[in-house]
Amino acid sequence: MNLSIIIVCWNVRAELLNCLSSILANPPACEYETIVIDNAGSDGTVDAVRRQFPAVKLIANDENRGFAAANNQGLESARGRYVFFLNPDTIFKNNSIDILLDYMEHNSDVGVCSPRLVFENGRIQKTVRRFPSYTGALHRHTFFKAFGIFRSAYRKWLMKDFSYNKTAEVEQVIGAAMMVRKEVLDNVGPMDEKNFFMYYEEVDLCYRIRQAGWRVMFVSDAEIVHLAGRSSGQVPVEKTIMAMTSLLKFFKKHRSRFSSTLFSWFFKSAFVANEIIRLVIYAVLYAFGAVFFISSLKRYIGDKLRYSAGLLKISWQKGLG
| 321 residues of the chain, pLDDT tens digit each | 899 999 999 999 999 999 999 999 999 999 999 999 999 999 999 999 999 999 999 999 999 999 999 999 999 999 999 999 999 999 998 899 999 999 999 999 999 999 999 999 999 999 999 999 999 999 999 989 989 999 999 999 999 999 999 999 999 999 999 999 999 999 999 999 999 999 999 999 999 999 999 999 999 999 999 997 555 455 578 888 889 999 999 999 999 999 999 999 999 999 888 888 888 888 778 777 666 556 676 677 778 778 787 777 777 666 665
User: In one letter, which amino acid is 175?
Assistant: G
Instruction: Report pLDDT for 301.
Output: 77
Distance CA 174, CA 112 (A): 11
Q: Which residues pair with 170 in a beta bridge?
A: 216
The Cα-based distances of 128 to 172, 198, 269, 288 in angstroms read 6, 18, 29, 41
Instruction: Report pLDDT for 43.
Output: 92
The Cα-based distances of 151 to 126, 263, 272 in angstroms read 17, 18, 20
Distance CA 199, CA 207 (A): 14
Residue pair 179/113 in contact by the 8 Å Cβ criterion: yes
Q: Are strands 82-86 and 57-60 parallel, antiparallel or unpaired?
A: unpaired
Taking the CB of residue 105, how many other CB atoms lie within 10 A of it? 13
Taking the CB of residue 107, how many other CB atoms lie within 10 A of it? 14
Instruction: Report pLDDT for 136.
Output: 97
Distance CA 229, CA 155 (A): 22
Distance CA 270, CA 299 (A): 27
Q: Output DSSP code: residue 123.
A: P
Q: Which residues pair with 216 in a beta bridge?
A: 112, 170
Instruction: Report pLDDT for 298.
Output: 65
Nearest one of 191, 178, 173, 179 to 129, comparing CA atoms = 173
Element containing residue 5 per DSSP (H, E): strand 3-9
Q: Which residues pair with 116 in a beta bridge?
A: 223
The Cα-based distances of 283 to 224, 271, 309 in angstroms read 42, 18, 11
User: In one letter, which amino acid is 282?
Assistant: Y
Instruction: Report pLDDT for 131.
Output: 98
Distance CA 109, CA 214 (A): 6
Instruction: Report pLDDT for 229.
Output: 58
Kindly tell me the sign of the dihedral angle through the C-alpha atoms of 228, 232, 234, 237: negative
The three-class DSSP label of residue 178 is strand
Taking the CB of residue 168, how many other CB atoms lie within 10 A of it? 14
Distance CA 167, CA 298 (A): 47
Residue pair 118/225 in contact by the 8 Å Cβ criterion: yes
Taking the CB of residue 158, how many other CB atoms lie within 10 A of it? 16
Taking the CB of residue 316, how many other CB atoms lie within 10 A of it? 9
Strand extents, DSSP E, 57-109: 57-60, 82-86, 90-91
Whole-prediction pTM: 0.90
Q: Which residues pair with 68 in a beta bridge?
A: none
Instruction: Report pLDDT for 172.
Output: 98
The three-class DSSP label of residue 169 is strand
Q: Which residues pair with 223 in a beta bridge?
A: 116
Instruction: Report pLDDT for 66.
Output: 95
